[in-house]
Chains A and B, each alone.
Chain A
């Protein structure tokens, strides 16, 4: 086995995103700059009642955004469609202005998703209750597997290097990016389209409610009055290449993926360890001794996460580091979060502008860091960490570096 060559630098040459605050990078960044959140009344499941009714839904009509013919998208889930839209934007950017196109035949797709096409699976399930198993149409449920978004992206964008799907709950998207970088370093692939995708579904919306983890108002990460998460949806991908390959084909390099830390709390099936021990180790692993200028936090808005993450950041990176939660804009996009927030982190480095934490009127007593309230902060950032944690105590941290 070739050992991952750690001297190989990983270039980010493309980024694509769709979430409640925009259907591409430009729209998303404009919303960030204007401190405009995408959180409102949940509309996906009319007639079904839930204990809370707030969500960060993608409002855009996906049809016109799809880069492939309509007949090819008929059998795709909403998660598949979101994934394709974001991945297409990322790959288009990686090709734009370069002397040679991305080596698609040797590009892998690595996707993290929590529930894949479960939204469509639920429809099949309801249909079965009414019609019985011998008559319910199976076309919807075939989209359910969590491998489907990777397969759909690879098929839509003719990427032939391989597909890797992981469902590591809310850490999935970050894990997808980290493992893709490793496969570039071992030369199992020459490029990677890596990120995450998740569409809101009933099981998730109901499930976080029964766990009493959902705020009945738009989430307020790190604030004194925080009561939980706002559920969101979306997809985002990065295009990763070995640095020398990206330079050789004349690609524009957006940022460098410097580090990847992955750990487990080994503590509880759903709750983080209160001391943030796994999160601290993940950040230490990603930073590997380098100084860090900004943290794009996991910052879900739950009592436990924000307190534990604050302790972890303080221990790993010091008490003076600016931190913010982009989930205050677009909610918790679950399996997509690692991808979505990696793209936000790359944009922050490019623009030298740290996104704020919205609705932070007063920080909680157990949240003792500089959380950049209300409005974006222009600041010099050479490096930034993106945190993604999930059920099962999985923690992923990614370290990105600015390219001058």
Chain B
């Protein structure tokens, strides 16, 4: 069975709302820009894809908003937009599954600051309540009275796809009639500076400017992004769906280290093939791959090898979105939302950041917006540490 997706809400870098998000994708521009939220002096990287012009009060009542951190506000806004897009409240018993990679790190930092300054007995209970990763999912459940399952996946880069897999299984099983599915992420100084210190962020190196370059010969790291996308999935569609969840696959690259990607392309093939099998389609049915490619040396290499192993030397068009809104954007939910819009609009998006082919990879991602037939999209997510989740989205119900 396939699970219809009937609503979409997006809070993206440079784009609040689905229409603006579509414009961003269609523009072929990047939302990555110089960071002005915190000081990057002394760090190697200075850019990220930050959500701008976000007015939480447009989406959340002031009394409720006071209790929410930025992570919760992004999630609440995207959920509101998604429910509005569906056009009606969700049915009784609907669930919530969100993913977040780093979750409430900023809130934990603020709590520990009070811990140091005021003492363990006098830190803010409000900060503690918001320091759990499932706070956004909890606020969303309260706001929309969603009393079904409520889970927050924290599987690094694969968090949003993991959430989608878990939620779709619940809907398919019949225990929940519908769910809000997505992810949420917030950029803060702590996460940015640690990633910079361990050397995974894109940076200027005297030869190239700072830029995330997925699959490019000169790639040297990723840019990080934030925001939230929330989808409405339901067993019986209430309106014309954007598309469908058709299949999922999981595997693990046992060669990966704790904070890097591995080199077992076979494991990535296993996950992609499992998603195709789950969708009951063949590799040749896939019209596009919305790649995990984040412009690190290893992640792009292992994914490229896997794509060529499964699809041959002439794979379907590969779209690399993380040059647009960065890695971790909505914990992977923005990549999922982009893939869904490709099906809805029958248009593949332009990849951003790629210029020179890496002959060892042999992948040239899309270099233009391409109106075309899009029946099936494969969405990949590879995590540092070795986790892999892949999904197939379809245009039709069967």
Which residues of A does B touch, CB under 8 Å? 1-4, 6, 48-51, 75, 108, 114, 116, 118, 121-122, 125-126, 129, 133-134, 138, 141-148, 150-152, 154-155, 158-169, 175, 179, 182-183, 185-186, 188-189, 202-203, 205-211, 262-270, 277-278, 281, 285, 390-394
Contacts and interface: CB of A to CB of B under 8 A. Distances in A.
A189 B172 contact: no
Given A51-B120, A164-B162, A186-B278, 4 more contacts: A161-B251, A169-B132, A391-B135, A391-B138
B377 interface: no
B194 to A, nearest CB: 6
A183 B153 contact: no
B132 A391 contact: yes
B138 A393 contact: yes
B311 interface: no
Interface string B92-130: 000110001111010011011001100111111100111
A165 B155 contact: yes
A393 B124 CA distance: 21
A203 B128 CA distance: 8
Contacts of B274: 188
A297 B228 CA distance: 36
Contacts of B95: 262, 264
Contacts, number: 255
B247 interface: yes
Contact of B252 (A2, A4, A161, A175): A161
A1 B258 contact: no
Interface string B127-143: 01111111101110110
Contacts of A125: 109, 112
By Cβ-Cβ distance, the 9 closest A-B pairs, closest first, are A392-B138, A162-B250, A207-B128, A264-B150, A167-B133, A262-B149, A151-B385, A206-B120, A146-B154
A164 B155 contact: yes
A125 B170 CA distance: 39
Contact of A203 (B1, B100, B115): B115
B211 interface: no
9 contacts: A1-B1, A4-B172, A4-B173, A142-B194, A146-B103, A167-B134, A203-B108, A207-B125, A211-B128
Interface of A is mostly: mixed
A123 to B, nearest CB: 11
A207 B166 contact: no
Nearest to A394: B150
Contacts of A155: 254, 258, 386
Contact of A50 (B121, B146, B169): B121
Given A1-B279, A160-B267, A392-B135, A168 B151 contact: yes
Contacts of A51: 120-121
Contacts of A162: 250-252, 271, 387-389
B249 interface: yes
Contacts of A169: 132-134
Contacts of B57: none
Contacts of A267: 142
Contacts of A144: 105
Contacts of B102: 145
A116 B250 CA distance: 22
Contacts of A168: 133-134, 137, 150-152
A77 B105 CA distance: 17
Contacts of A167: 100, 103, 132-134, 152, 154
A384 B144 CA distance: 33
A205 B120 contact: yes
A1 B245 contact: yes
Most chain A beta-carbon contacts within 10 A, residue among B2, B95, B116, B119: B119
Contact of A145 (B119, B145, B149, B154): B154
Contacts of B156: 145, 147
Contact of A1 (B3, B42, B148): B3
Contacts of A143: 258
A359 to B, nearest CB: 25
B155 A160 contact: no
Contact of B42 (A134, A161, A206): A134
